[in-house]
C-alpha cells in the first residue's frame, strides 16, 4: 500500500518447507528476471493492481479505433483526457470514502455547488478575483465534508444515508442559488482557461521534464536507500527501466498535446487541466502512501477495531477523509464550470457521483474498504470518458452509453472478484 510500485515478494521457489529462513537470505533479488517473475506470481495470485484497468483501456481504444478511425487522433485523445478530468477528480475524492468502506453520494452536487459558488463570486457585480472565488468554493466544499463527516462519525449515522441527504440538499441549494435564470456565465478568463487554456509547447516540455525528474529522483532515492539498508529492493536495472518508462509516457503525452489539433485554426499545447489532475494525483498519492494519516485510512478500512486498539483516533481520521473527499469534489466542480464556461441547472450531480464511484471501482478500488489508490480514480475516469467519447463518435445515443458503461463496470468488478478468488484469503 505504501506507494505506487509495491514491493514484490521474494522469489521463493527454494523454500517449500515450513521453517525456512527466507528473512535471513539476501534481500536484493538476484536479477531483474527474478524480480519480474515474482511480480508475475503475485499477479497470478490476485494482486492485479492497475493491470485490468490498463488492459481494459487498451481494449476499449482498439475497439473504438477499429470502428471509427477518428478515435485515436491526437485531437480526440487530448479531448478525451480533458473530458476525463472531471470524472478522474471526482473519483479521486470518492476513493477516500471507499477506502474507509464508506461511500459519499453527495460529491456530484457538492461539485455543482463549488461551480456555482465560483461562478457567482467572479460575476462582475461581485468582482472577486479568480483565486479568491476558487478558494472560497473549496472552503465551502471542505466545510460540507466536515459537516457530513461529523454527522457520520459523531452521531454514527450511515454514510450512505447522510450523503444521500447531502445529494438532495446540495442539489436544492445549487438550484436555489442559480434561481430563475437557471444558468450563470463565467467571464473570468483565468477560470475558463483552466480547461481551454494551454501551455506553450516549450512550457509543456519543461513541466513534463520537471515532473518526470521529480519522480525519477524519488524512485531512485527510495530504491537505493532500500538497497543500502539491506532491504528487499528492485535491482538497479529495474529502477532505471521504471524511470525510462515514465519518461517515455511523459514524452508521448507532450508530443500528443503539442501536435496541432485545431480544425480551422491551429490548436496545440498541454491543457492546464491535465497538469491539475496530475498535481492532485501526486498530492493524494503522497498523502495516502507516505503519511501516517494515509496509513490510518487503510487501517480503518481494513479493520477498524484493530485501528482503534492501536490508539488511532478513528473519528478524526474518518471525518478528515470526508473533508478531503468533498474538497476534491470542489476541484472537480471548478473544472466542470471552466469547461462549460458557465454553470446551469443542467448539471446532473446524480449521474456524476455514480460515474465517480464506477470510475474508482473500474480503476481497482474496493467497495469494501482498505484497498484503492488515487491512481485508480484517474484511470477509471479515463475509461468512463473513453466510453462516452467513443460511443459519441460512433453516433450512439446516451441510452447506449449508459448501457455500455454499466457493462464495463460489471466486467471490472467481476475481474476483481475472480482475481481475488486466487488470493489466499480475501481482503
Partner 1 sequence: MTTATEGITPTGPTGVEELPLLRLRGVSKHFGPVQALTDVNLDIPAGQVTALAGDNGAGKSVMIKTISGIHPPDGGEILWAGAPMHVRTPGEAATLGIETVYQDLALCDNLDIVQNMFLGRERTHRGQLDEESMENAARETLTSLAVTTVRSVRQAVASLSGGQRQSVAIAKAVLWNSKLVIMDEPTAALGVAQTAMVLALVRRLADRGLAVMLVSHNMNDVFEVADRIAVLRLGRMVAERPAAEMDRQIVVDLMTTGASSRVAAPKASGE
Residues lying near partner 1 in the complex (CB under 8 A) are found at: 1-2, 6-7, 9-10, 12, 15, 18-24, 45, 225-226, 229-232, 290-292, 295, 298-299, 301-303, 305-307, 309-312, 370-371, 423-427
Residue closer to partner 1 (CB basis): 73 or 427: 427
- Quote the CA–CA distance of 41 and 51 in Å, as a whole number: 14
Residue closer to partner 1 (CB basis): 154 or 225: 225
CB of 303 to partner 1, least distance (A): 4
Residue closer to partner 1 (CB basis): 109 or 298: 298
CB of 2 to partner 1, least distance (A): 6
User: CA torsion angle for 300, 301, 303, 307 (degrees, to 10)?
Assistant: -10
Beta strand 342-344 with 183-185 is antiparallel
* Helix, coil or strand: residue 105: coil
CB of 286 to partner 1, least distance (A): 8
Residue closer to partner 1 (CB basis): 341 or 420: 420
CB of 30 to partner 1, least distance (A): 15
CB of 14 to partner 1, least distance (A): 11
Q: Find out whether 341 and 192 touch, Cβ atoms under 8 Å.
A: yes
Residue closer to partner 1 (CB basis): 2 or 66: 2
Quote the Cα angle for 420-416-164, to 5°.
Answer: 120
- Quote the CA–CA distance of 193 and 188 in Å, as a whole number: 9
* Cell reading at 218: 524519488
Quote the Cα angle for 392-411-108, to 5°.
Answer: 60
* Helix, coil or strand: residue 95: helix
CB of 53 to partner 1, least distance (A): 19
CA 342 to chain CA mean position, Å? 24
Residue closer to partner 1 (CB basis): 22 or 351: 22
CB of 221 to partner 1, least distance (A): 11
Q: How far apart are the first and last CA of the chain?
A: 13
* Helix, coil or strand: residue 28: strand
User: CA torsion angle for 254, 259, 264, 267 (degrees, to 10)?
Assistant: 30
Q: Which of 364, 366, 402, 411 is nearest to 384 (CA)?
A: 402
* Cell reading at 280: 492532485
Place of cell 492485479: 48
* Helix, coil or strand: residue 391: helix
Residue closer to partner 1 (CB basis): 18 or 125: 18
Element (H, E) at 288: helix 272-290
Element (H, E) at 295: helix 292-302
CB of 229 to partner 1, least distance (A): 4
* Number of Cβ atoms within 10 Å of the Cβ of 236: 14
Residue closer to partner 1 (CB basis): 98 or 208: 98
CB of 306 to partner 1, least distance (A): 4
CB of 426 to partner 1, least distance (A): 7
- Quote the CA–CA distance of 205 and 343 in Å, as a whole number: 33
Residue closer to partner 1 (CB basis): 315 or 341: 315
CB of 22 to partner 1, least distance (A): 6
List, in order, residues 6 or more apart from 47 with CB less than 8 Å away: 6, 423
Residue closer to partner 1 (CB basis): 45 or 350: 45
Residue closer to partner 1 (CB basis): 404 or 413: 413
The β-bridge partners of 185 are: 342
Amino acid at each position: 500500500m505504501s506507494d505506487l510500485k509495491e514491493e514484490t515478494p521474494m522469489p521463493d521457489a527454494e523454500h517449500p518447507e515450513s521453517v525456512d529462513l527466507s528473512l535471513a537470505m539476501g534481500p536484493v533479488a538476484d536479477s531483474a528476471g527474478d524480480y519480474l517473475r515474482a511480480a508475475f506470481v503475485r499477479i497470478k495470485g490476485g494482486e492485479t493492481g492497475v493491470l485490468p484497468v490498463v488492459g481494459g483501456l487498451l481494449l476499449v481504444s482498439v475497439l473504438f479505433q477499429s470502428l471509427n478511425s477518428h478515435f485515436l487522433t491526437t485531437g480526440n485523445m487530448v479531448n478525451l483526457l480533458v473530458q476525463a478530468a472531471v470524472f478522474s477528480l471526482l473519483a479521486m475524492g470518492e476513493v477516500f470514502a471507499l477506502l474507509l468502506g464508506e461511500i459519499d453520494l453527495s460529491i456530484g452536487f457538492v461539485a455543482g455547488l463549488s461551480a456555482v459558488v465560483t461562478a457567482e463570486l467572479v460575476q462582475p457585480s461581485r468582482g472577486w478575483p479568480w483565486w479568491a472565488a476558487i478558494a472560497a468554493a473549496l472552503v465551502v466544499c471542505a466545510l460540507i465534508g466536515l459537516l457530513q463527516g461529523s454527522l457520520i462519525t459523531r452521531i454514527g449515522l450511515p454514510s450512505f444515508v447522510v450523503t444521500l441527504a447531502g445529494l438532495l440538499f446540495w442539489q436544492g441549494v445549487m438550484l436555489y442559488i442559480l434561481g430563475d435564470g437557471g444558468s450563470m456565465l463565467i467571464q473570468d478568463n483565468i477560470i475558463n482557461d483552466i480547461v481551454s487554456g494551454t501551455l506553450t509547447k516549450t512550457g509543456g516540455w519543461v513541466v513534463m521534464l520537471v515532473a518526470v525528474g521529480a519522480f525519477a529522483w524519488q524512485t531512485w532515492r527510495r530504491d537505493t536507500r532500500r538497497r543500502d539498508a539491506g532491504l528487499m529492493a528492485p535491482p538497479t536495472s529495474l529502477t532505471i527501466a521504471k524511470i525510462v518508462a515514465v519518461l517515455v509516457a511523459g514524452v508521448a503525452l507532450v508530443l500528443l498535446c503539442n501536435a496541432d489539433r485545431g480544425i480551422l485554426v491551429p490548436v496545440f499545447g498541454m491543457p492546464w487541466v491535465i497538469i491539475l489532475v496530475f498535481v492532485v494525483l501526486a498530492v493524494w498519492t503522497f498523502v495516502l502512501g507516505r503519511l501516517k494519516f494515509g496509513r490510518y485510512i487503510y487501517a480503518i478500512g481494513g479493520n477498524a477495531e484493530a485501528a482503534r486498539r492501536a490508539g488511532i483516533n478513528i473519528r478524526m481520521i474518518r471525518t478528515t477523509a470526508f473533508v478531503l473527499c468533498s474538497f476534491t469534489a470542489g476541484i472537480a466542480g471548478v473544472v466542470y464550470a471552466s469547461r462549460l464556461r458557465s454553470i446551469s441547472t443542467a448539471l446532473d450531480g446524480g449521474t456524476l457521483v455514480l460515474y465517480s464511484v464506477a470510475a474508482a471501482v473500474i480503476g481497482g478500488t474496493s467497495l469494501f474498504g482498505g484497498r484503492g489508490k488515487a491512481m485508480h480514480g484517474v484511470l477509471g475516469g479515463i475509461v468512463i470518458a473513453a466510453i462516452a467519447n467513443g460511443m459519441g463518435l460512433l453516433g450512439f445515443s446516451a441510452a447506449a452509453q449508459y448501457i455500455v458503461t454499466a457493462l464495463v463496470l460489471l466486467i471490472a468488478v467481476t475481474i476483481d472478484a475472480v482475481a481475488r478468488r486466487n488470493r489466499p484469503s480475501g481482503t
